[in-house]
Amino acid sequence: MTVHPRTDELVDSIRWSFEAFVMPDLTDEYAISVAHTIRNLLQHVSLRIQLEGPALDEHRRELRSVLSDIREFAEVSQCAALADVPGRVNAALEADGPDAVPPPGVVDLGEKVVALRWALDGALRSLQAAKGELGGDERYVAVRSAIRDCLGRQLEREAAWITPAFSGRRR
């Protein structure tokens, strides 16, 4: 059961009150600019409250899948640059915990995603170091493509709660 009003509803109420009672009385251009920035940030927070948890959980699942693919590729590769990748990926996946466990709160989920992204960063550096030796390998190309696709989908999810920087009034 959710508590009412929900957190996003509270933020929306604060934004509405700010727009209805504070912004109309502003006359200084700088104060008006700051007010528009505050309004945009409140909208951003409201959208993140609604969308960030599911986006993080989806990204976490994708990162786990991509890291598993990288581990499998590194395990069969004879490339020395990838020798420590399986162990580092296993450690990150074990630290993340089982995938079947219900997702934690947004803060904890964010921390889990950060840890998995560090593991992806390390694996990506190793893959980059192996490019000269493995760059033409079909599985190498597929793993690199899967990484780009995973990160691209996360950027698309995050774009849903970002107000474009140069739209509307701003400071």
| pLDDT tens track for 15-39 | 999 999 999 999 999 999 999 999 9
Higher pLDDT, 92 or 52: 92
112 SS3 class: helix
Written as six digits, the tokens of 46 are 């409201």
- Is the confidence at residue 141, as pLDDT, over 70? yes
- Model confidence at 165, pLDDT cuts 50, 70, 90, reads low
C-alpha span between 23 and 31 (Å, rounded): 9
pTM of the model: 0.78
Higher pLDDT, 124 or 99: 124
Cβ–Cβ < 8 Å for 158, 47: no
